[in-house]
Each structure stands twice: as structure tokens, then as C-alpha cells.
Amino acid sequence: MSVPVTVQRALGLVARRHGARVAVRHGDATLTFAELDRRAAAIAQGLMAAGLARGDRVAVMLPNCADYIAIAAACAKGALCMVPVNYRYTGSELRRQVEDCGAKALVCDTRFDPQVADAALPGSVRTIRRGPELEAMIARASDAWVPPEAREDDLFYLGYTSGTTGRPKGAMVTQRNRALAYLYWATEFGIGSGDVALHCGPFHHTAPFTFTLAQLAVGGSVVVLDSFDAVSAASVIARHGVTWSFMVPFMLERVLETTLDGGTARTLRMLISGASPLSTRTRTRVQERFPGVALHDFYGATEAGVVTNLRPEGQSARPRCVGLPIAGIEVQIRDERRGIVTEPGVVGDIWLRGPTLFAGYFMAPEKTAEVSDGQWCTLGDIGYLDEDGYLYLVDRRKDVIKSGGVNIYPIEIEEVLLREQDVRECAVVGVPDERWGEAATAFLVLKDAADAAQVQRRVQELCKSLLADYKRPKAYRFLAALPRNANGKVLKRDLREAV
């Protein structure tokens, strides 16, 4: 007799085992595992009483809060499919995503009523507002309700991503995908029931949401911030005995500007970085500020979860490396002409295989076929493997600059620019150029904007000494801040369009 490997089962078992323990802390409010389980069951029951059935999609447009987690657990419990929606969307963007996924319900916060009104959603979509309306639905639930048993291939959520083809599309993540991922990640990062995790990235982005559930699935607690603020994060780490946190590089850089250090963060044992490249400068500063804290740097994606991880012992010896494949994952490098590349150091497309990979793009078989050959998939990134099997991420294929017939990788230039201490942050993009096709343009954010001319001279000298002439930026532009999404990732498309 086979036992299904599902998120429903994982969260149900941990609620029975650790019922009285605090699962979620948000502000001054807490939910124990038992309370979270009961709330999830009541929400699932209410959604199904409203006409939803196995596999139906539930769009969620909420800020970070305990109910976000409860609704995710409710979808797992009711074999429903959760669809996180970016709360910064306009009405038209909201309508497009709801129509694309065919959502039967939208759970939202009243603060987003203007976008919901502008979306003019069809009457077939049940809108449920957090607050009195959601609480009334929960109050009608019966303790005697028995949820349907989830199957491994039931969709747990659709993670919308622009990926390699522009318009957002829903990556289908099954209950089995994520139940296995939680186990693999707990093993890889050493996450256990005694841990307290801080999560401050927006839950509509995959990594903060999934790392939160990974911690809960093994019985540990999570502390949730409404949104990222470096001072608040530092305070919470010290006050609640946080043992680890996932932060994108941008967040780590801002935390380094606070007074938090190894002394005030006595319980902190691990920091996990991902979602965008961790520069050598930031990596070094984190290690110096928190000498007893294990720093991990992973490569992953909505479609795959964590793919590779560079463990603490490899941080200094392998700069710009994103580590070895984690348990269950295989990585190949492929060349468009030569096929699979076996020689170390050869740059090509990164291909992946493993049980935590997504099941394809929702209602888009042609888009799935563009990135998959049946067992393996590629996410538009390019890199190479060294002789020990460590992966080095070179860049997103769409961000590679094609100048004068050669490829230029922006990450390589950005690493050089960040050697200048007066550069707070930077990004390099390719812009149209009549002579070269594309020309590398560097966007710099300085610690002191008044020093722009001198800083430009110094970075030009750095580039001249460390980069071949064709790689050097043809132009420099100075900004007060780089455009970023809610999870801190630089929006390079916005930079290209601004030129």
C-alpha cells in the first residue's frame, strides 16, 4: 500500500506532532500548529462550500500575514491550487492573471479594493475579503468535516513567472514536488524543529513563501514581517531568537548597514542567499560581520525550487560559484551545436532534472515544449561546471550582451565595478548601438552622488586593468537607486527602456 507524498500529509502530521508549539508569529499575534491546522481546515471547508472542487484555483492577493500561510495550508488540505498574485498589480494585470489561471475564487485584502474594482472580474469568480468576510466563512465550518485525500499529482500552486518568454505564465507545482522539496531543503540547509526562521520577502514571490512552508513542514517556527525593512529585520532577529533567514543579496546589503552583528544576533546560525547573484563584495562583508554564521548561496527558480547550493565551506575558495546540485537534482551544460558538454569550464545552457521540478506551464504546452525535452528542462540561464561538478552561473541568456559579434556577461563586469568601495550598487545592461549592435552600459548608485566624476574615473581604471577592452562599459549612468521588484531583484528591462 503506497502512502502519498503530499504537502497535505506533511503539514497534517506536523500539526499532530507539534500542536501546542508556536508555528507562526506575525507582529504581536501567534498561531500554534494546532490553531493553524484548524484555521486551514475551516478555510478549505468554506471554499468548497462556496462551490470549489479538487484542482480549482484560488487566487491570493494579500500582504505578508499569518492568513497567507493558513490559506496555503487550506489549499493543500482541500486539494485546491493556490495562485499567489502580486499585490502591486494593476487591475488589468490582476484580471489577466485570474483569467489565465481560471481562478474560481480570489482572497484579497481590503487595501487592494481599488485594483480589484478596476479588474472587473467576471461574476464566476468569488471574491472573499480578509477580515469579517473571511472570519464569517471560518465560523461556519464544522469540526466534523473530512477533507479529500490529496494526490501526489494534484496542483498545489501556480507560480507565475516571466521566465524566458516574456509574458507571465503559471508554473505548475504539484503536491509531490513541494513535499519532497521541503525534505531535501531541510537536509541541505540543516533546518529542524528547533529552528526559528525569519521571512521578510513578499510571499507572492516563490522563495520566501516556499522557505516558510519548508520550516513549518519540519516543525519549526516562522516569524513573518509585513515587508522587508533592515532595521525591523535586525530587531526581530535579536528579539525572537531567530536562528536563520532567507534574504536576497539586496536585503543582506541593507542589513549590513544596520548595527546587527554576531554579538547582537547571538542565536543566528545561518543566512541563505538566492534569487539573484551574490557579489563577492557582499559575500565577504557578511562573513566578516557574522563570523559564526553559516552563509549559503543557492541557485534556483520558481519552476525548480533550489537547484544547487554553495555551502559555507566553499564560499571563499569558489568565488562566483553557486555550488553543487542538491539531493535529487542533476545538472547538465548543453551547447546549441554540440549538445551535452562534458568538458569543465565550457559555457552553455543549464539544463536540470529532478523530482522537485515543475509539471509544465499551465494551459501552455507550447511554452512547456520550448524549455523541456520530456525529462530535462532549461530556465534560460547559462553557466559552466568545473572539474568537481560545481556550477558557475554566468548570466541570464536574455541579459547577455551581444556586442561586435561576441558575448559579454554583465555579472563579470558588475563584479569589477563593485571593487570600488564608493559604489553602493550597480547593474550592467546592453543597449542598442549602431556600431556594435549592443553596447554595455553601467548604472551606478553611489554612496555619495557628489563624487560621481571621480568615481567614474576610478571604475574606468579598474575596468581597464581587469577587463578586456570589448567588455568595458561604453557608458556610465548614475541613479539614486536601481529599479527592483518587491523581492529585491534588479529590473534590467526597466534600465534598458530608460536609455
Residue pLDDT, tens place only, 313-329: 887 778 779 999 999 99
Q: How many whole angstroms separate alpha carbon 410 and alpha carbon 444?
A: 13
Quick one: 411 and 316 in the same domain?
no
Q: Which residue type, as a one-letter code, is found at position 315?
A: Q
Structure confidence at residue 437 (pLDDT): 79
Q: Which residue has the higher pLDDT, 9 or 281?
A: 9
- Show the domain range for 257: 7-385
Question: Quick check: is 52 in a domain?
Answer: yes
Quick one: 196 and 113 in the same domain?
yes
- Of the chain, the percentage scoring pLDDT greater than 70 comes to 98
Structure confidence at residue 338 (pLDDT): 77
Given 356, 385, 414, which residue is the final one in a domain? 385
Confidence grade of residue 187 (pLDDT, cut at 50, 70, 90): very high
Q: Which residue has the higher pLDDT, 282 or 13?
A: 13
Q: Is 348 in contact with 327 (CB distance < 8 Å)? A: no
> b/e per residue, 122-156, with b = 16+ CB within 10 A?
eeebbbbebeeebeebbeebeeeeebeebeeebbb
* Helix pair 175-189, 206-217: axis angle to 10 deg: 80
Question: Quick check: is 454 in a domain?
Answer: yes
Quick one: 277 and 362 in the same domain?
yes
Instruction: Indicate if the pLDDT at residue 129 is higher than 80.
Output: yes
Question: Quick check: is 390 in a domain?
Answer: no
Structure confidence at residue 164 (pLDDT): 40
Task: Give me the number of domains the chain comprises.
Answer: 2
DSSP labels for 367-426? HHHHHBSSS-EEEEEEEEE-TTS-EEEEEEGGG-EEETTEEE-HHHHHHHHTTSTTEEEE
Torsion of CA 105, 110, 113, 116, to 10 degrees: -20
Residue 156 CA: distances (Å) to CA of 79, 80, 151: 7, 7, 10
151-169, pLDDT tens digit by residue? Answer: 999 999 999 986 444 568 9
Quick one: 193 and 45 in the same domain?
yes
Quick one: 408 and 364 in the same domain?
no
Question: Quick check: is 394 in a domain?
Answer: no
Question: Quick check: is 393 in a domain?
Answer: no
Instruction: Indicate if the pLDDT at residue 348 is higher than 70.
Output: yes
Question: Quick check: is 279 in a domain?
Answer: yes
Q: Is 446 in contact with 457 (CB distance < 8 Å)? A: no
Q: How many whole angstroms separate alpha carbon 352 and alpha carbon 377?
A: 5
Q: How many whole angstroms separate alpha carbon 160 and alpha carbon 368?
A: 13
Write down the mean pLDDT value for the chain. 92
Structure confidence at residue 231 (pLDDT): 94
Q: How many whole angstroms separate alpha carbon 206 and alpha carbon 210?
A: 6
Name the residue among 212, 234, 215, 216 with its Cα closest to residue 224. 212
Q: Which residue has the higher pLDDT, 336 or 345?
A: 345
Residue 259 CB contacts under 8 Å (≥ 6 apart), including other chains? 234
Q: Is 439 in contact with 468 (CB distance < 8 Å)? A: no
How far from each other are the two terminal CA atoms of the chain, in whole angstroms?
62
Given 385, 409, 429, which residue is the final one in a domain? 385
Quick one: 427 and 378 in the same domain?
no
Structure confidence at residue 384 (pLDDT): 95
Q: Which residue has the higher pLDDT, 338 or 268?
A: 268
Confidence grade of residue 24 (pLDDT, cut at 50, 70, 90): very high
Q: Which residue has the higher pLDDT, 428 or 498?
A: 428
361-387, pLDDT tens digit by residue? Answer: 999 999 999 999 989 999 888 899 999
- In total, the chain counts a number of residues equal to 499
Distance of CA 424 to the CA centre of its chain: 23
Question: Quick check: is 395 in a domain?
Answer: no
Q: Is 11 in contact with 147 (CB distance < 8 Å)? A: no
Question: Quick check: is 34 in a domain?
Answer: yes
Mapping DSSP to helix (H, G, I), strand (E, B) and coil, where does residue 340 land?
strand
Instruction: Indicate if the pLDDT at residue 229 is higher than 70.
Output: yes
- CATH number, position 15: 3.40.50.12780
Name the residue among 458, 98, 140, 83 with its Cα closest to residue 302. 83
Name the residue among 50, 215, 41, 26 with its Cα closest to residue 126. 50
Structure confidence at residue 165 (pLDDT): 41
Quick one: 272 and 410 in the same domain?
no
Quick one: 94 and 120 in the same domain?
yes
Q: How many whole angstroms separate alpha carbon 98 and alpha carbon 353?
A: 30
Given 330, 356, 385, which residue is the final one in a domain? 385
Q: Is 349 in contact with 336 (CB distance < 8 Å)? A: yes
Structure confidence at residue 162 (pLDDT): 61
Quick one: 52 and 100 in the same domain?
yes
Structure confidence at residue 293 (pLDDT): 96
Q: What is the pTM of this model?
A: 0.85
- Which of 1-15, 93-107, 309-323, 415-429 bottoms out in mean pLDDT, i.e. has the lowest? 309-323
Quick one: 377 and 352 in the same domain?
yes
Structure confidence at residue 189 (pLDDT): 97
Quick one: 219 and 257 in the same domain?
yes
Backbone angles phi, psi at 238, to 5 degrees: -70, -35
Per-residue pLDDT, averaged over 90-106, amounts to: 94
- CATH number, position 473: 3.30.300.30
Quick one: 177 and 29 in the same domain?
yes
236-278, pLDDT tens digit by residue? Answer: 999 999 999 999 888 998 999 999 998 889 999 999 998 777 8
393-435, pLDDT tens digit by residue? Answer: 887 777 888 887 677 878 889 989 999 999 999 999 998 887 7
